Structure 1
Amino acid sequence: MWEVPEHWTMQDAATVPVVYSTAYYSLIVRGRLQPGETVLIHSGSGGVGQAAIAISLSLGCRVFTTVGSNQKKEFLLKRFPKLNSDDILNSRSTKFEVDILQKTSGKGVDVALNSLAEEKLQSTVRTLAEHGRFLEIGKFDLSQDHSLGMAIFLKNVTFHGILLDALFEVKHEKQAVVSLVQEGIK
Structure 2
Amino acid sequence: MIRRETNGKGVDLVLNSLSDDKLQASVRCLAYRGRFLEIGKFDISNNTPIGMYFFLKETSFHGIMLDYIFDQSFDFRLRLQNLLLAGIESGAVRPLTYCTFEKHEVETAFRYMAAGKHIGKVIIKIRDDERSHRTVKPSNLLIDAAPR
Normalization by structure 1: what TM-score?
A: 0.42
Equivalent residue, structure 2, for 1:141:
43
Moved over 2 A (4+): 167-176, 181-186
1:104 maps to which residue?
A: 6
1:118 counterpart = 2:20: yes
What is the deviation of 1:178? 2.3
3-state DSSP class of the match of 1:152?
helix
| Other-structure match for 2:99 | none
Q: Distance in 1 between matches of 2:59 and 2:24?
A: 14
Give SS of 2:82's match. helix
**CA offsets per residue over residues 114-150 of structure 1, 9 Å max, x none?**
1211111111101100111111122211111111122
Q: What's 2:82 paired with?
A: 179
Matched, 1:155 2:57: yes
Map 1:3-152 onto structure 2 (within 5 A): 99-152=1-54
Listed as ranges, the gaps of 5+ residues in structure 1 are 1-98
Of Structure 1 and Structure 2, the greater helix share is in: 1
> Counterpart amino acid of 1:133?
R
1:111 partner letter:
L
| Whole-angstrom distance in 2 between the partners of 1:181 and 1:144 | 31
Question: Following TM superposition, by how much is the alpha carbon of 1:170 offset from its aligned partner in structure 2, in angstroms?
Answer: 5.6
- List runs of 5+ in structure 2 lacking aligned partners: 90-148
Q: For 1:141-169, what per-residue CA distance to the aligned partner results, in whole angstroms no more than 9, with x for missing partners?
A: 11111111222112111111121111345
Whose Rg is larger?
2
Alpha-carbon distance change, 181 to 119 in structure 1, aligned in 2, over 3 angstroms: same
Q: For residue 112 of structure 1, give the secondary structure of its aligned residue in structure 2.
A: strand
C-alpha distance in structure 1 between counterparts of 2:34 and 2:4, whole Å: 17
Query: Structure 2: which amino acid aligns with 1:180?
Result: L
Q: Scaled by the length of structure 2, what TM-score is found?
A: 0.51
Give the partner amino acid of 1:136: E
Give 1:179 shift.
Answer: 2.2
Which whole-Å CA distance do the structure 2 matches of 1:173 and 1:110 have between them? 27
DSSP-derived class of the 2:47 partner: coil
Number of equivalences: 88
CA distance in 1, matches of 2:88, 2:29: 32
> In the superposition, relative to structure 1, how do residues 127 and 185 fare at CA in structure 2: closer, same or farther (>3 Å)?
closer
Q: What SS does structure 2 have at the residue aligned with 1:131? A: strand
SS of match in other structure, 1:145: coil
